[in-house]
């Protein structure tokens, strides 16, 4: 007996939908590998909202925090202790890839997890309190040239981290030895903002997404954003780029998720299909925009290739700064 093609297509669609429902993780969780309030937290909460809004999850995904090593603790915990947990996403950023390039995640390299999705990008930025004497990037550079030990810079992670690299590139462009800069290592954007507003540091090397709530409240200013050109969001259009101030530095901060290395192909496929649907959704675009992120959509094998190329490129940069041999 032959069935019309439309009937067969409808039946196949129903079977796929049923399969997706059966594959839904029972206890979905997103690990933000830092303290609350920073970029990893933002990334998890974006997915938390979007997956429920799009009815891809029937109940909200739990967000938990696992600070340490700007992602290293979470990476090691998932790979070694929860490798097959198909319900656990972990947030990552370009900073995670930079640390992987330098071997800062211990015995596990970029091939140790299943890279799932990239959902948006931000850009690095240099932040100060609203009453800071530094009015632009050159004011900061001149102060650093005069006496780098007098300017306390807060960054997410230690020497070699993404935030460190941003100021190291400024220092290099200005003829200053990056090793002479005075750093305070903090755990993510939330702690940087707290330390800056509390007067414990004078400068925050951070990213624009973490900073915007404090910019909009009037507590902080950005001396520069590391984008190719000024960002066209209404609240960002007046923030100058480093390039327009004479410092040719661009630093995108891609954000996304990975899964444990032994997560089943079925679970991985469910999550990939979910994120493919999200990334094509106008509602997701709105949620991403609300979190001051810009479009960057990539999943599955394409993302795996991107991540591995980025790690290779970061290794070259780290070698230039003497961070690895």
In angstroms, rounded to a whole number, what is the distance separating the alpha carbons of residues 76 and 260?
10
Task: Walk along the chain (325 residues) and give the pLDDT tens digit of each residue.
Answer: 444 444 444 444 444 444 444 479 989 999 999 989 888 999 999 999 999 999 999 989 999 999 988 789 999 999 999 999 999 999 999 989 999 999 999 999 999 999 999 999 999 999 999 999 999 999 999 999 999 999 999 988 788 888 899 999 999 888 999 989 999 988 778 889 999 999 999 999 998 988 888 999 999 999 999 999 999 888 899 999 999 999 999 999 999 999 999 999 999 999 999 999 999 999 999 999 998 899 999 999 999 999 999 999 999 999 999 998 6
| Domain containing residue 305 | 27-121+253-320
> Is 305 domain-assigned?
yes
Query: Residue 8 domain-assigned?
Result: no
Residue 202 forms part of a structural domain: yes
Q: Quick one: pLDDT at residue 124?
A: 94
188 in the same domain as 214 = yes
Residue 7 in domain? no
What pLDDT score was predicted for residue 7?
Answer: 43
We report the CATH number of the domain holding residue 223 as 3.40.190.10
**Does 71 share its domain with 189?**
no
| 11 occurs within a structural domain | no
- Token pair 């059966």 in the structure block, residue: 22
Distances in Å between the Cα of 294 and the Cα atoms of 127, 136, 202, 229, 313 are 19, 24, 28, 13, 22
Give yes or no: residues 149 and 212 share one domain: yes
| Contact status, residue 105 vs residue 33, Cβ threshold 8 Å | no
Bridge partners of residue 221, in order along the sequence: 128
Domain boundary among 251, 272, 299: 251
Q: Are residues 241 and 173 in the same domain?
A: yes
Each residue's pLDDT tens digit, 49-61: 999 999 999 989 9
Q: What is the pLDDT of residue 5?
A: 43
Domain count of the fold of the chain: 2
The packing angle between helices 162-173 and 94-101, to 10°, is 80
Residue 18 within any structural domain of the chain:
no
Q: Are residues 247 and 260 in the same domain?
A: no
8-state DSSP, 25: -
* CATH number of the domain within which 110 lies: 3.40.190.150
- How far is it, in rounded angstroms, from Cα 118 to Cα 255? 6
Q: For tokens 């090691």, what's the residue?
A: 76
Summarised one tens digit per residue, pLDDT across range 11-47 is 444 444 444 444 799 899 999 999 898 889 999 999 9
Q: Which residue has the tokens 């097959």?
A: 84
Among residues 203, 219, 251, which one ends one of the domains? Answer: 251
Question: Distance between CA atoms of 220 and 199, rounded to whole angstroms?
Answer: 12
Among 233, 251, 269, the domain-final residue is 251
Element (H or E) spanning 211, and its range?
A: helix 208-216
Residues 201 and 153 in one domain: yes
Rounded CA-CA distance 20/9 in Å is 16
Residues 133 and 247 in one domain: yes
CA distance 154 to 164: 9
Q: Are both 66 and 92 inside the same structural domain?
A: yes
DSSP classification of residue 120: E
Cα separation of 210 and 193, whole Å?
Answer: 8
Q: What residues form DSSP beta bridges with 42?
A: none
Check residue 269 and give its pLDDT: 97
Looking at residue 12, what is its pLDDT?
A: 42
- 40 and 60 belong to one structural domain: yes
What pLDDT does 86 receive?
96
Q: Are residues 193 and 303 in the same domain?
A: no
Are 154 and 270 found together in one domain? no
pTM higher than the cut 0.75: yes
| Per-residue pLDDT tens over the stretch 208-230 | 988 888 999 999 999 999 999 99
CA distance 302 to 92: 16
In the block, residue with structure tokens 């609203």: 130
pLDDT for position 39: 87
Q: Are residues 130 and 214 in the same domain?
A: yes
Which residue(s) pair with 153 in the sheet?
Answer: 183, 203
Q: Does residue 3 belong to any structural domain of this protein?
A: no
Q: How far apart are CA 54 and CA 283, in angstroms?
A: 8
Q: Judge whether 179 lies within some domain.
A: yes
């Amino acid at each position: 007996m032959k069935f019309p093609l439309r009937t067969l297509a409808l039946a196949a669609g129903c079977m796929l939908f049923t399969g997706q429902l059966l594959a839904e993780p029972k206890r979905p969780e997103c690990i933000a590998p830092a303290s609350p309030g920073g970029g990893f937290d933002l990334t998890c909460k974006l997915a938390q909202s979007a997956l429920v809004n799009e009815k891809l999850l029937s109940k909200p995904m739990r967000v938990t925090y696992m600070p340490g090593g700007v992602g290293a603790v979470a990476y090691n915990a998932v790979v070694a202790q929860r490798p097959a947990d198909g319900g656990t996403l972990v947030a990552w950023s370009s900073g995670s890839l930079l640390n992987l390039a330098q071997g800062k995640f211990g015995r596990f390299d970029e091939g140790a997890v299943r890279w799932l999705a990239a959902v948006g990008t931000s850009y690095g930025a240099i932040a100060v309190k609203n009453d800071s004497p530094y009015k632009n990037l050159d004011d900061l550079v001149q102060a650093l040239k005069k006496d780098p030990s007098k300017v306390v810079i807060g960054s997410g992670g230690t020497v070699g981290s993404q935030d460190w690299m941003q100021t190291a590139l400024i220092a290099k462009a200005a003829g200053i030895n990056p090793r002479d800069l005075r750093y305070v290592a903090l755990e993510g954007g939330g702690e940087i903002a707290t330390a800056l507003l509390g007067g414990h540091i004078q400068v925050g090397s951070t990213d624009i997404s973490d900073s915007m709530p404090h910019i909009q409240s009037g507590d902080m200013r950005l001396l520069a954003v590391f984008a190719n050109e000024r960002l066209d969001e209404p609240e960002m259009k007046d923030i100058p780029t480093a390039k327009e101030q004479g410092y040719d530095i661009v630093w995108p901060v891609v954000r996304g998720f990975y899964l444990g290395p032994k997560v089943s192909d079925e679970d991985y496929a469910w999550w990939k299909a979910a994120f493919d649907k999200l990334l094509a959704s106008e509602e997701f675009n709105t949620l991403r925009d609300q979190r001051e992120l810009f479009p960057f959509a990539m999943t599955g094998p394409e993302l795996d290739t991107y991540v591995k190329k980025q790690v290779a490129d970061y290794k070259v940069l780290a070698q230039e700064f003497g961070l690895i041999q």
